[in-house]
Amino acid sequence: MVKNFARSLLLGFAIAASSTVLLLWSGAAGAQPVLDPKLAETLCNACHRDKFAAENNHPHRLLDTPEWRERTGNALACINCHGDVSAHISAGGGRGTVFAFREEPPAEQSQVCLGCHASSHSEFDRSAHAKAGLSCTGCHRQHGTAVSPRALLHDIPKVNIALDQLGPSSRLCVQCHDDTLAAFEFNERHRLREGVLECASCHDPHAPVTRSLLGGFKQQQCLECHTDKGGPFVFEHPASRVDGCTACHSPHGSPNRYLLTHQRVGELCYSCHAGVPQFHIGFNPAAPPRFGLDTQCTNCHSTIHGSNLDADFLK
């Protein structure tokens, strides 16, 4: 109670003592009021001391420099995101008197962020995250110390062993995508749990869905690491070119050593190639087939991703 009284007293004294310099209006019609820098810092800091204390070494702190003030015409960085705060200050604080983010629709919150970040995230409004009603602040924190200084991600504590080795962005992703995290329990998997990769190594959370939010279209993202599988080849595997790598591979994890979507190679191949040449089946209809679901097709069709010599991908 004493703390709140002291804060209110400080705020009231600052407003009363500076009523003549509270707002400096520019001459342009309809221009936004600009707060005197020193006074604004005193007023905002009176109630939001935690926000100011955590702004050191924060990228948004750059918005409070003289160069930025001259560029935008705003005296305080708060105005760049929260808009006109004069009503908020005059009312002594309170909800509904300023753009407070947590109380605004997600699309409007993101629109404020895109005022500065539109060049790097120009397609966010068409992304799956935006369409699901998520705002930028659902993943990023605009104030305070962040676990990832550049991306300003929310810090998700390592509360269990399953998250211990995950990178900071991956720990955030699995808060919603825990079903995907379960796939990394397989023995054969991309090394997400070890921190070698992060979800954002392959997925772009700010872009429209091209192929399950992959950073590149179809197999292009995979080829960033697996360049030898990309060709170009004289004879290409149609599944790779039409459906991409995920036509055959389960990238998060699989019981198969090659991350195939089926444990048995023959079962995977027959899922597309049901009609096979007669000699695969045998000439005696009463006899068991020469090749079946347990057949290791790649024993012969070894260059399965593509070949420059044989249309059947033979050795």
**What DSSP line would sit under 15-74, residue for residue?**
HHHTTTTSEE--SSTTPPPEE-HHHHHHHHHHH-HHHHHT-TT-GGGGGGSHHHHHHH--
Burial class (CB in 10 A: 0-12, 13-18, 19+), 52: middle
Q: Which of 171, 201, 231 is the last residue of a domain?
A: 201
DSSP, collapsed to helix, strand or coil, labels residue 310 as coil
Is residue 12 a part of any domain in this protein? no
**8 Å CB contact between 112 and 72:** no
Identify the DSSP state of 258. T
DSSP, collapsed to helix, strand or coil, labels residue 219 as helix
Two tokens at 231? 């060709």
Q: Which of 169, 201, 233 is the last residue of a domain?
A: 201
Tell me, what's the pLDDT at 40? 63
Residues 285 and 239 in one domain: yes
Segment (H or E) for 109: helix 106-117
Residues 73 and 133 in one domain: no
Is residue 54 a part of any domain in this protein? yes
Is residue 42 a part of any domain in this protein? yes
Residues 83 and 124 in one domain: no
Two tokens at 158? 């390592």
Is residue 109 a part of any domain in this protein? no
Tell me, what's the pLDDT at 212? 56
Segment (H or E) for 253: strand 253-254
Residues 241 and 291 in one domain: yes
Cα separation of the two ends of the chain: 81
Query: Nearest Cα to 152, choosing from 174, 166, 168?
Result: 168
* 3-state helix vs strand vs coil in the chain, percent to 5: 40, 5, 55
CA 66 to chain centre: 32
**8 Å CB contact between 145 and 60:** no
Tell me the residue range of the domain where 283 lies.
221-307
Is residue 56 a part of any domain in this protein? yes
Residues 246 and 301 in one domain: yes
Residues 82 and 129 in one domain: no
Q: How does strand 23-24 pair with strand 34-35?
A: antiparallel
**Taking the CB of residue 159, how many other CB atoms lie within 10 A of it?**
9
**Taking the CB of residue 312, how many other CB atoms lie within 10 A of it?**
10
Burial 250-263 (b: 16+ CB within 10 A, else e): bbbbbebeebbebe
Two tokens at 247? 């036509």
Residues 230 and 277 in one domain: yes
Segment (H or E) for 236: strand 235-236
Is residue 10 a part of any domain in this protein? no
Is residue 4 a part of any domain in this protein? no
Residues 149 and 80 in one domain: no
Is residue 210 a part of any domain in this protein? no
Tell me, what's the pLDDT at 87? 83
Q: Which of 139, 172, 201 is the last residue of a domain?
A: 201
DSSP, collapsed to helix, strand or coil, labels residue 294 as coil
Each residue's pLDDT tens digit in the chain (315 positions)? 444 544 554 445 444 444 433 443 333 333 444 556 566 667 777 888 777 766 656 677 666 667 766 766 665 667 778 887 878 888 888 888 888 888 788 889 999 888 888 888 888 988 889 988 889 988 888 876 655 666 788 777 665 656 667 888 888 888 888 888 889 888 899 988 888 888 988 888 888 876 655 655 567 788 888 988 888 899 988 888 777 888 899 989 998 889 999 988 988 988 888 777 766 765 556 656 667 677 888 888 989 999 999 998 987
Tell me, what's the pLDDT at 260? 93
Tell me, what's the pLDDT at 315? 77
Residues 191 and 263 in one domain: no
Domain count, the chain: 3
